[in-house]
């Protein structure tokens, strides 16, 4: 049975490439017996904002355990704070909200830049990091997360009239849901030990950029180039040999350049399916809109 408190769980940050738009397609892509399988394990190695995580856990109580991972250490610190210290986090966010909202535009910008400096320069406690992470995410331009070559967060101030900096209900619901989630921080290959027949992996790696201006995949200073996409494909082969199921989504490289068969080639031994999705974060507003998205699986489509 679905737990009602869990249903208000949702991503506590906005995240580039967030998968809320794709949930219907991911639901259709699940193994046909997924809801019947006892003791399922769900693994999300590129969790980001966790749109799929916060949707799938309440829907499928048969998932006995979930494992999430991301290479962004501050994002993961924030997940841990939401899981382990939600009340303290809410307290800090409430202070930021009360200080920020009454300010005029110019003062808000200074307040934001000051918090961004603190976030980038000081050794901070887990709670402070998490509170600043959420504050910056809610008040920066488009909810982006982008770092420079030194790994410093460098997104400019956004212009929201009334941003919800302290979303108490969401943090409390997410915290409950995260109790059965193990939280890892590192490269996605850290999740390799969960490649078992009971496991479903959902991979949502940084996109292969469709054009130079759309390259919002600098979540981390290392980036994610074509060689990285191939390394991930090899990992998919490895977990398939260990009988785990996987779903992987990515941008359709073919979309803009009709002749780019990159994913069709590298994933040729798996099932590839194309769906339409809205892409909200693009530096150029004219280029936001419907694009096709790839859904790749290592099992038959029913």
Ligand X SMILES: C[S@@+](CC[C@H](N)C(=O)[O-])C[C@H]1O[C@@H](n2cnc3c(N)ncnc32)[C@H](O)[C@@H]1O
Q: Which residues bind ligand X (CB under 6 A)?
A: 15, 17-19, 45-46, 48-49, 51-52, 69-72, 187-188, 204-206, 219-220, 224
The CB-of-40 to ligand X minimum distance in angstroms stands at 19
83: left (phi over 0), alpha (psi -120 to 50) or beta: alpha
Q: Residue with the closest Cβ to ligand X?
A: 48
Q: Measured from the CB atom, is 115 or 279 closer to ligand X?
A: 279
φ/ψ (deg, to 5) at 151: 85, 15
Q: Measured from the CB atom, is 112 or 203 closer to ligand X?
A: 203
Terminal Cα distance for the chain, rounded? 25
Q: Measured from the CB atom, is 108 or 296 closer to ligand X?
A: 296
The CB-of-185 to ligand X minimum distance in angstroms stands at 9
**How far lies 81's CA from each of 147, 200, 205, in Å?**
22, 26, 24
Buried b (16+ CB within 10 A) or exposed e, 68-93: bbbbbebbbbbbebbbebbeebbebb
What is Dmax (Cα atoms) for the chain? 58
The CB-of-263 to ligand X minimum distance in angstroms stands at 15
Q: Measured from the CB atom, is 100 or 144 closer to ligand X?
A: 144
The CB-of-129 to ligand X minimum distance in angstroms stands at 15
Q: Measured from the CB atom, is 72 or 129 closer to ligand X?
A: 72
Q: Measured from the CB atom, is 112 or 224 closer to ligand X?
A: 224
Nearest to 215 by CA among 75, 17, 11: 17
H/E segment holding residue 293 = strand 289-297
> Hey, which bits of 126-188 come out as E strands?
181-185
Q: Please identify which residue in the block is written with the tokens 């990159």.
A: 262
The CB-of-203 to ligand X minimum distance in angstroms stands at 9
Cα–Cα dist 205/217, whole Å = 9
The CB-of-51 to ligand X minimum distance in angstroms stands at 4
The CB-of-173 to ligand X minimum distance in angstroms stands at 17
Q: Measured from the CB atom, is 22 or 41 closer to ligand X?
A: 22
Cα–Cα dist 207/27, whole Å = 21
């Amino acid at each position: 049975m679905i737990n009602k408190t869990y249903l208000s769980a949702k991503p506590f940050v906005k995240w580039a490439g967030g998968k809320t738009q794709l949930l219907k397609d991911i639901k259709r892509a699940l193994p046909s017996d997924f809801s019947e399988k006892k003791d399922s394990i769900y693994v999300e190695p590129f969790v980001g904002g966790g749109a799929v995580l916060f949707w799938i856990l309440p829907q499928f109580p048969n998932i006995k355990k979930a494992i999430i991972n991301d290479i962004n250490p501050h994002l993961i610190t924030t997940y841990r704070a939401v899981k382990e210290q939600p009340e303290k986090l809410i307290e800090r966010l409430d202070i930021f909200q009360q200080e920020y909202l009454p300010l005029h535009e110019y003062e808000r910008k200074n307040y934001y830049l000051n918090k961004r400096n603190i976030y980038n320069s000081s050794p901070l406690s887990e709670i402070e990091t998490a509170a600043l992470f959420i504050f910056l995410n809610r008040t920066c331009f488009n909810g982006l997360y982008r770092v420079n070559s030194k790994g410093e967060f460098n997104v400019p101030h956004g212009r929201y009239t009334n941003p919800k900096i302290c979303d108490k209900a969401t943090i409390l619901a997410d915290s409950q849901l995260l109790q059965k989630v193990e939280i890892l921080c590192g490269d996605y290959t850290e999740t390799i030990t969960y490649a078992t027949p009971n496991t479903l992996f959902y991979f949502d790696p940084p996109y292969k950029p469709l054009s130079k201006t759309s390259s919002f995949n600098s979540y981390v200073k290392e980036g994610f180039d074509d060689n990285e996409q191939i390394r991930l494909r090899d990992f998919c082969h490895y977990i398939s040999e260990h009988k785990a199921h996987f779903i992987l989504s990515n941008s359709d490289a073919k979309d803009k350049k009709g002749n780019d068969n990159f994913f069709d080639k590298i994933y040729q031994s798996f099932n590839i399916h194309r769906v339409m999705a809205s892409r909200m974060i693009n530096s150029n507003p004219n280029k936001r809109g419907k694009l096709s998205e790839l859904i790749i699986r290592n099992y038959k489509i029913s």
